[in-house]
Amino acid sequence: MLRRATFAIGLIAVAQPAFAQFGPSGPPAVGVMTVAPRPVTETADFVGRVEATDRVELLARVTGFLQERLFKEGTEVKQGDVLFRLEKPPFEAELARARSTLASAEAEQANARINLGRARELLRTPAGQQSRVDDATASERTSAASVMGAQAQLRTAEINLGYTEITAPITGKIGRSNFAVGSVVGPSAGPLATIVSQDPMRVAFPVSARQALELRNRYESRGGADAVRIRIKLSDGRVYPHPGRIEFIDNQIDRNTDSILIRALIPNPVRQVNGRPAPDGDRELIDNLFVNVVVEGVQPVMALTVPRAAVLQDQQGSYVLVVDAEKKAQRRNIRLGRSTPETAVIEDGLKEGETVITEGIQRVRPGQEVNPAPAGAPPPNAGRQG
């Protein structure tokens, strides 16, 4: 038994060198690309909120019973549409009373004018007295004032009657009704409903003071706010198809957040479903919706770029591997600019014309000889890799 065990151990010891012949027989094959300026759309991401450009809370301006609600909750209404109607008879009666008061005042004014005329005629005769003329003049002026007061009351009654019909002051989407038909409403009862405008919408987003300075320096020479456009990403990850434009930049920094508020206008047309407008005029953007805001340059700029997969990171920062004249991989520390998940923009560390490893980078160590080929092409001697 001892001899067999010794023989087996000896076989293992002898067999070990035979496996070495199946290892790599040449430098690893890698895919490379030449660094060159390429058009890049600069972007910056923020978190924002969609806001309606106009918001109106409907209030009853007179006190009365709510008689009718003439709209469907959650639908769009047009400016001038009658939305609520209050009970009219009490206000119609008040209008009739105001008209009678005006008629009585006008009759008294006519009588006062006649008396004033008579007093003035008598003043030309020995029976006339100046005191009677003065009294008649005062009476005529008092009656004229009464007429003006009655006219004001009539106008007030007409206005109050008009307030029994509550119309939409803007075009937009109306929310739920806060009062049922039959309720007593008035100026102190609170909003009957709220209307928010729909198209266009605003997108408001805070930008830190440092980022605001970077954006200003980047786009100031290209036209400022006109050199950028605003895109938004919805909560499901989709990019909203309609871009917007900046319309407002606040004039002060928020002390609590050290940020400045920027607002943009963005279209919000009716959604299309199978080539047709959505039912009830449904739109994509809703007031107070949280979105991701992307500020991007209108015109692309030329910048050195590499695929994002070519960028590695360690404790020293970001770096890439380049192929030198001796076909050896060399480390290059880089500084990244505004990048995307697919493309890395290189601000410093690489020069135009250098060769960067983009494929097979996991098989390479700095200083190691490699077998480069254009990225995307079949790597040479691929069959010899272990």
What sign has the CA pseudo-torsion 302, 307, 310, 316? positive
Residues near 194 by beta carbon (within 8 Å), at least 6 away in sequence:
55, 56, 57, 58, 174, 175
Percent of the chain with pLDDT over 70: 89
Q: Mean pLDDT score of the chain, rounded to an integer?
A: 84
How many angstroms separate the CA atoms of 153 and 159, rounded? Answer: 10
How many angstroms separate the CA atoms of 379 and 30, rounded? Answer: 7
Q: For residue range 263-299, what is the model confidence (pLDDT) as tens digits? A: 999 999 988 777 787 777 788 899 999 999 998 888 7
How many angstroms separate the CA atoms of 132 and 128, rounded? Answer: 8
What integer pLDDT is reported at residue 4 of this predicted model?
A: 44
What integer pLDDT is reported at residue 20 of this predicted model?
A: 32
How many angstroms separate the CA atoms of 263 and 230, rounded? Answer: 10
- CA 70 from chain centre, in angstroms, equals 31
Residues belonging to the chain? 386
Q: Residue 346, class by beta-carbon neighbours within 10 Å (0-12 exposed, 13-18 middle, 19+ buried)? A: buried
Q: For residue range 191-230, what is the model confidence (pLDDT) as tens digits? A: 999 999 998 999 999 999 998 888 888 888 888 888 889 9
- Rounded mean pLDDT, 58-78: 92
- Rounded mean pLDDT, 307-324: 88
In this structure, are residues 323 and 55 in contact, taking their beta carbons and an 8 Å threshold? no
Three-state DSSP string of 161-206: HHCCEEECCCCEEECCCCCCCCCEECCCCCCCEEEECCCCEEEEEE
Q: Reduced to 3 states, what is the DSSP secondary structure of residue 374?
A: strand
How many angstroms separate the CA atoms of 349 and 321, rounded? Answer: 11
What integer pLDDT is reported at residue 217 of this predicted model?
A: 84
**Number of C-beta neighbours around residue 175 at 10 A:** 16
What integer pLDDT is reported at residue 24 of this predicted model?
A: 54
How many angstroms separate the CA atoms of 166 and 178, rounded? Answer: 14
What integer pLDDT is reported at residue 128 of this predicted model?
A: 64
Q: Residue 329: which of 368, 291, 285, 295 has the closest Cα?
A: 368
Whether residue 14 is predicted with pLDDT greater than 70 in this model: the reply is no
Q: What is the DSSP secondary-structure string of 258-272?
A: TEEEEEEEE--PBPE
pLDDT level of residue 18 (50, 70, 90 thresholds): very low
The model scores a pTM over 0.85: no
Whether residue 25 is predicted with pLDDT greater than 80 in this model: the reply is no
Q: For residue range 355-373, what is the model confidence (pLDDT) as tens digits? A: 898 888 888 888 888 888 8
What integer pLDDT is reported at residue 39 of this predicted model?
A: 84
Peptide bond into 200 cis (omega under 30): yes
The residue ranking higher by pLDDT, 69 or 109, is: 69
- Rounded mean pLDDT, 161-176: 93
Percent of the chain with pLDDT over 90: 40
Q: Reduced to 3 states, what is the DSSP secondary structure of residue 52?
A: strand
| Token couple for 124 | 């030309």
